[in-house]
Chains A and B, each alone.
Chain A
Amino acid sequence: MTDANVVSIDSMTVRYGRNVAVDDVSLDVPRGTVYALLGRNGAGKSSLVRCLVGQQKPAHGRAILFGEDVWTRRAQLMERVGIVPEEADAPPEMTVHELSKFCGEIYSRWDHNAVRDRLSRFAIKPDARFGTLSKGQKKQVMLAMALAVSPELLVLDDPTLGLDVVARKSLFDEVISDLADRGTTTVITTHDLAGVEALADRVAILKDGRLVLDEPMEALKSRFRRIRFPYAAVALAAGNLRTASVTQWGGGTEAIVSNYDDVVFERFRSAANVTHADVSPMSLEEIFIAVAGEEVRS
C-alpha cells in the first residue's frame, strides 16, 4: 500500500461457517478514484464492504483506510468516511432533523446547512420520520448524511437498490456533483452498471468471492470487444485473441474478446483471410455479463 491509496485490502478472506464469502481478495483504491466493485448477488460485495468500514472482522487479512487498520481504528477513521449502506439502517422513529442533529453531536465536523440544502433538493421535509420515507428518500437522506461530514472516502453499498429510474438519477447526480466539487474517493458497489459506468474510474468484479478483474474503466472498455463474423466460423485463438465467450450461429460466429487490440486483430484478419467482421465496443454491463455471468448463459 502507498500513501496514494485511500483503501487497501490485503489478502482478505471472509467466512460464514464453511462458506467462503470473500476469498483472498487484495485491492487498492487510489486517492480521488471512483472505484466500482461489481458482482452478482452473493458474490461477496457487502461482506467486503462491511470489512472495509470496520463493521466486520475478516477471517484472514485486513483492510487499511488512510494507512491505518480499520478494525482497530474504526471509531477514529469513521470521522473521515461517509457511508450509504445497502439497507437504510437509521432508526425509523427518528425524524430527519433529529437524525441530522444526532449525527451533529457524534461527528466533530458536521455541516447542517449542507444536509438542509440536499434535503431541500430532494424535497424531503425535516420533520418527516425516517420510517415513513420511501426507499428512494431513505437513500437520499442517508447520502445527505454521508456527505455532511465532507468525507475523504465515500462508501456506497448498492445505493440504487430498489430505486426507480428518477430516484437513481437524482442520487447519482448528487454523487457526481460532490465528486466534481471535492474529488472524494468513492467505493461503490452496485447492480446499476449503466449508472456507474459514467462515474467509475476503476472497476473490480467479484465472482464467487474471488476478485476476477480489477483495472481502470478505460483500459477495461478498450480491451473488451464484441466481434461478429457473419459468414464464417472463425477460430480466434489462432490470432492470440482471448475470448470470454464464443457463440456459433447460422454460418457465422460471435465472440467477445477480452484482449482486443487493433493491430493484433488486423494481423489476424489478414492471416485468416476474413473479409467481413463487425467489431463493436461493449458497455460495462455487457462486459460484466461476459466476465461474471457465463454460467447463466450456459
Chain B
Amino acid sequence: MTRTLSIAAREIRERSFVFAAAGIMAVIPFASALLPYARTTGRTQIISVGGLIVSIGFTFALALVLGGSFVGRELAERRLSFYFSKPVSSSAIWFGKLAGALMTIAACFAIIFVPSFVAARRFWTPNWSSSPASFIVAIVATAVCLFLLAHVGSTMVRSRSPRVALDLLLLCVTVGAIWLILRPLFASLAMQLASDLAWSIGTAIFVAIVSAGWWQLARGRTDIQRSHAELSRFLWASVGAVVTAAALIVAWVFSAGPQDIDIKVAYQNPRGDWAIVRGPAHHRGDYEGIFLVNLTNGKAKRLEEGRFRGGMFTRRGDAAVSIAPFDLDKALVGRVQYVEGELYVERLDAPGSRSATGIRIQSIYATVAVSDDLGRVAIVERGLLSVHDLSRKALLGSVRLPENVYEMFFASPDVVRVYSFDKREVNRPPVGTRAYEFDIRTRRLQRTGEVQPLAVPITVSADGTTALLRSKGTLVVADARTLAQRFAIAVKPRNALFLGNGGIAVLDLSNDNASVRIFDAQGAPVRDIALGPATFGGIREIVANKKLLAAVQRGGRYLDDENPRGWSLYVIDLEKGVVERQERDLALRSQFRSLSDPRQADLAPVTQFVVADASGKFWRWNALTGERKKVFG
C-alpha cells in the first residue's frame, strides 16, 4: 500500500504543471465577467456558465490526454521499466499510476470549478435540476470513463500491432451484441429493466477495463506488444463474459411464462374463450409478459408485439389483432407513438395462424376495424380511411374523412360506417356527431346522418341498425345509420345495452347509487333493480339468457382501476328483477375490447369471466355458480 501511494504521489508530482494550468483556466470565467458585454448578460451568470464550460472542457481534455499517456506513452518510450526494475508489484504500479492520474484530474476540476461555483452559488442553485453532488459525480465519472477509454485506445494504437483490427472488430461485435440484448427489453417497454441492465453492463465493463489495465501490466510489463495482447485478451474475455451474462439474463426474463406473471390486465374476447393477459413478471423488474390464453384449455402463447397496442379482439372474438412496430430499431431510437407499425391478425380458431398483414400503419394509435368475415380491415389515421383486403394484402380504397373518427365498423363487407365528431373549431370540444358510410365498390364517402349536440354512441345493436346514444344526460335510441332519434328515455345512462328480447338495460348511477333499469323495446320502463351505493361501473354482458352481469365500484372512477377493493359484481335475473348473486371485492378484468367496433356481439351468452380478487389474484369465475378456477392450466 505504501508503495502504491508513493507511486501515486510521484505521478501527481510529475504532472504538477497541470495544476498551474488549471489555476490559469480558473481565472478565465472571472476575467470574462469583467468584459464590457458582461453588464448586459450578468456577471454572475458568466462566471457560473464560464466556470462550468472551462472546468468540464479542461477536465475531459485532461482525462483524454492522461489516459492516452500514463501507461501507453511510457510503454512506447520504454520508460515503464523504471517501475518494473524496482521491488514493486504490478498491482502497485497500476493502481498507483491510476490513482495518481485520477487524483490529478479531480484536483484540476476542483481548482477550476470550485471558485466559480462559490462566487456564483446563488445563480447555480436554482438552475440545477439535480443536486450539486450528483452533478459533480456525473462529471468526474464521465472523465474517469474517458480516461480509461483513452488508456485502452492508446495502448492498442501505440503498439502498432495488427491486433488493432481484431480489437475494432470485437468492439463492433460488442456494441452490436449489447444493442441486440437490450433491444427486446426496450421493445417490450421494460424501460427500467433495460436501463438497469445497461448500467450494469456499463459498470461491469468499467470494472473489466480497470482490471484489464492491471492484467496488462502484470502480464505484459514493459513489452508493448505483449501488453496490448494481454490487455485485449483480458478485456474482450471479460466483456464477452459480461455480454454473455447479460444475454442469459435477458433470455431468463423472456422465459417468463403466464404462470410467472401477476396479471394486471386481462382482455377477454366476447366469445369468452380467449383472453389477452398481461402483467409484471416475477423478479423481472418492470418487464411485463403478455400472453394470448385459451381459457378452455389454459394454453398460452407469448404476444410480445401486443405491448405496443395491447391486444384487441374482433367483435365476435374470433380473431386477435395487434400492431407491432414495423421498424423496431427506428422505434427504439425515436418516439414510439410516431413509428410505423404493422398489423397482425390471428384467427383464434386456427392456432398458429398469426400473420403479418403487410399493412403499415403510421401511428400505433390508429383506429382499426375488422370485417365480420375477417377478410377486410379498415384503418383510420391522420384523417384517412383506408380499407384493405387481408388475404390479397391489397388496398381496396381510401378516402379522406372530414372529421375526427370516433368509432367505425363494417356495416356490410363492402360498407364501412364511421361515427365522427363534428369539430367546428380547432382546439374546441366537438359540437355534434355525424355518421358516414364509405362504399368500397364505388369508393364514395356519404354522410348518412348527424345529431346535434354531441351524442356519444354507447352501443350499436348486433345487426347494426339501432344505436344507443348518450346525449344531454339522457339515453337516445336512434337509427344507427342516420342517427335519427326514434325515442328518448329519461334516464342518466352510465352504460347501456340491448337485451336479447329487444329491450334495453341501463346502468344508472344517479346520486351515487347504482341501479339497473330495464326498458322494453319502445322505451317503456319494465323494472328497476337497486344495487346500492356506487360511483362507477358498467353493465358487462349477458351472462346467460335473461341474466345480466353488472360491475359497480364505490369510490372509483375508471373501469380498469387496478384495485379490486370496492368493486362488486352482480348477477341479475331480469325476469324476476332480483340480484341472484353478489360478489364483493371482485373486479371484472374482462373488458371485451373489440377494436373500435361499437356493435354488440351476437353470440351465445358467456358465463365465464376473468376476475381479480382483493388479494390481486386472477380467476376464471363462473357467474352462474360462483366457482373460481385458475386462469392458466
Interfacial residues, chain A to chain B (CB-CB below 8 A): 16-17, 50, 53-57, 74-79, 81, 83, 85, 87, 89-91, 93-94, 98, 102-103, 105-108
Q: Is the interface of B mostly helix, strand, loop or mixed?
A: helix
Let me know if A16 and B225 touch, CB within 8 A. Answer: yes
* A89-B88 contact given A105-B2, A105-B6, CB 8 Å threshold: no
Query: What are 27 inter-chain pairs, A to B, with CB distance below 8 A?
Result: A50-B81, A50-B222, A54-B84, A55-B85, A55-B223, A56-B222, A56-B226, A75-B87, A75-B89, A75-B92, A76-B87, A78-B85, A78-B87, A83-B85, A85-B81, A85-B85, A87-B78, A89-B82, A89-B85, A91-B10, A94-B13, A103-B86, A105-B2, A105-B3, A105-B6, A107-B86, A108-B87
- Asked if B620 is at the interface of the complex by the 8 Å CB criterion, the answer is no
* A107-B87 contact given A57-B219, A87-B78, CB 8 Å threshold: yes
In the complex, residue of chain B having the shortest beta-carbon distance to the beta carbon of A93: B14
* A55-B221 contact given A76-B87, A105-B2, A107-B86, CB 8 Å threshold: yes
Distance of B135 from chain A, by nearest CB (Å)? 34
Q: CA A83 – CA B222 in complex, angstroms? A: 15
- Asked if B79 is at the interface of the complex by the 8 Å CB criterion, the answer is yes
| Residues of A contacting B85 in the complex (Cβ-Cβ under 8 angstroms) | 53, 55, 78, 81, 83, 85, 89
Q: CA A273 – CA B339 in complex, angstroms? A: 107
Q: CA A85 – CA B223 in complex, angstroms? A: 15
In the complex, residue of chain B having the shortest beta-carbon distance to the beta carbon of A155: B85
Distance of A105 from chain B, by nearest CB (Å)? 4
Let me know if A89 and B87 touch, CB within 8 A. Answer: no
In the complex, residue of chain A having the shortest beta-carbon distance to the beta carbon of B92: A75
Let me know if A89 and B81 touch, CB within 8 A. Answer: yes
Let me know if B78 and A56 touch, CB within 8 A. Answer: no
The digit string for B308-333, where 1 denotes a CB below 8 A from any CB of A, is: 00000000000000000000000000
Let me know if A106 and B223 touch, CB within 8 A. Answer: no
Distance of B316 from chain A, by nearest CB (Å)? 74
Q: Give the contacts of B251-265 with A (CB-CB under 8 A).
A: none
B88 partner, pick from A55, A75, A81, A90, beta carbons under 8 A: A75
Let me know if A78 and B86 touch, CB within 8 A. Answer: yes
| Residues of B contacting A16 in the complex (Cβ-Cβ under 8 angstroms) | 225
Q: CA A98 – CA B10 in complex, angstroms? A: 9
Distance of B200 from chain A, by nearest CB (Å)? 34
| Residues of A contacting B225 in the complex (Cβ-Cβ under 8 angstroms) | 16-17
* A79-B14 contact given A16-B225, A54-B221, A57-B223, CB 8 Å threshold: no
Number of contacts between A and B (CB, 8 Å)?
Answer: 71
Q: CA A57 – CA B92 in complex, angstroms? A: 19
Distance of B598 from chain A, by nearest CB (Å)? 77
| Residues of A contacting B6 in the complex (Cβ-Cβ under 8 angstroms) | 102, 105-106
| Residues of A contacting B14 in the complex (Cβ-Cβ under 8 angstroms) | 91, 93-94
Q: CA A237 – CA B226 in complex, angstroms? A: 48
Q: CA A66 – CA B195 in complex, angstroms? A: 55
| Residues of A contacting B3 in the complex (Cβ-Cβ under 8 angstroms) | 105-106
| Residues of B contacting A54 in the complex (Cβ-Cβ under 8 angstroms) | 84, 221
Q: CA A87 – CA B79 in complex, angstroms? A: 9
Which of A50, A76, A90 has the largest number of chain B CB atoms within 10 A?
A: A50
Q: A54-B221, A75-B88, A79-B87 are in contact. List 13 more A-B contacts (CB 8 A).
A: A16-B225, A55-B85, A55-B221, A55-B222, A56-B223, A57-B221, A57-B226, A89-B78, A89-B79, A89-B80, A102-B10, A107-B86, A107-B87
Q: Give the contacts of B222-265 with A (CB-CB under 8 A).
A: 222-223, 225-226
In the complex, residue of chain B having the shortest beta-carbon distance to the beta carbon of A53: B85
Q: CA A77 – CA B89 in complex, angstroms? A: 11
Q: CA A81 – CA B82 in complex, angstroms? A: 13
| Residues of A contacting B88 in the complex (Cβ-Cβ under 8 angstroms) | 75, 78, 106
In the complex, residue of chain A having the shortest beta-carbon distance to the beta carbon of B5: A105
Which of A75, A81, A83, A103 has the largest number of chain B CB atoms within 10 A?
A: A75
In the complex, residue of chain B having the shortest beta-carbon distance to the beta carbon of A90: B82
| Residues of A contacting B82 in the complex (Cβ-Cβ under 8 angstroms) | 89-91
For the complex of A and B, the 7 pairs showing the least CB-CB separation, nearest first, are A78-B87, A89-B82, A105-B6, A83-B85, A79-B87, A55-B222, A75-B89
| Residues of B contacting A106 in the complex (Cβ-Cβ under 8 angstroms) | 3, 6, 86-88
Q: Give the contacts of B52-87 with A (CB-CB under 8 A).
A: 78-82, 84-87
Distance of A27 from chain B, by nearest CB (Å)? 21
Distance of B229 from chain A, by nearest CB (Å)? 11
In the complex, residue of chain A having the shortest beta-carbon distance to the beta carbon of B230: A57
| Residues of B contacting A87 in the complex (Cβ-Cβ under 8 angstroms) | 78
Q: CA A54 – CA B81 in complex, angstroms? A: 10
| Residues of A contacting B81 in the complex (Cβ-Cβ under 8 angstroms) | 50, 55, 85, 89
| Residues of B contacting A103 in the complex (Cβ-Cβ under 8 angstroms) | 86
Distance of A21 from chain B, by nearest CB (Å)? 11
| Residues of B contacting A78 in the complex (Cβ-Cβ under 8 angstroms) | 85-88
Q: CA A218 – CA B221 in complex, angstroms? A: 38
Q: CA A35 – CA B622 in complex, angstroms? A: 98
Q: CA A79 – CA B88 in complex, angstroms? A: 9
Which of B81, B90, B225 has the largest number of chain A CB atoms within 10 A?
A: B81
In the complex, residue of chain A having the shortest beta-carbon distance to the beta carbon of B79: A89
| Residues of B contacting A57 in the complex (Cβ-Cβ under 8 angstroms) | 219, 221, 223, 226
| Residues of A contacting B223 in the complex (Cβ-Cβ under 8 angstroms) | 50, 55-57
Q: CA A74 – CA B2 in complex, angstroms? A: 18
In the complex, residue of chain A having the shortest beta-carbon distance to the beta carbon of B16: A93
In the complex, residue of chain A having the shortest beta-carbon distance to the beta carbon of B225: A16
The digit string for B187-230, where 1 denotes a CB below 8 A from any CB of A, is: 00000000000000000000000000000000101110110000
Q: CA A50 – CA B14 in complex, angstroms? A: 25
In the complex, residue of chain A having the shortest beta-carbon distance to the beta carbon of B82: A89
Q: Give the contacts of B81-118 with A (CB-CB under 8 A).
A: 81-82, 84-90, 92
Distance of A283 from chain B, by nearest CB (Å)? 32
Distance of A153 from chain B, by nearest CB (Å)? 12
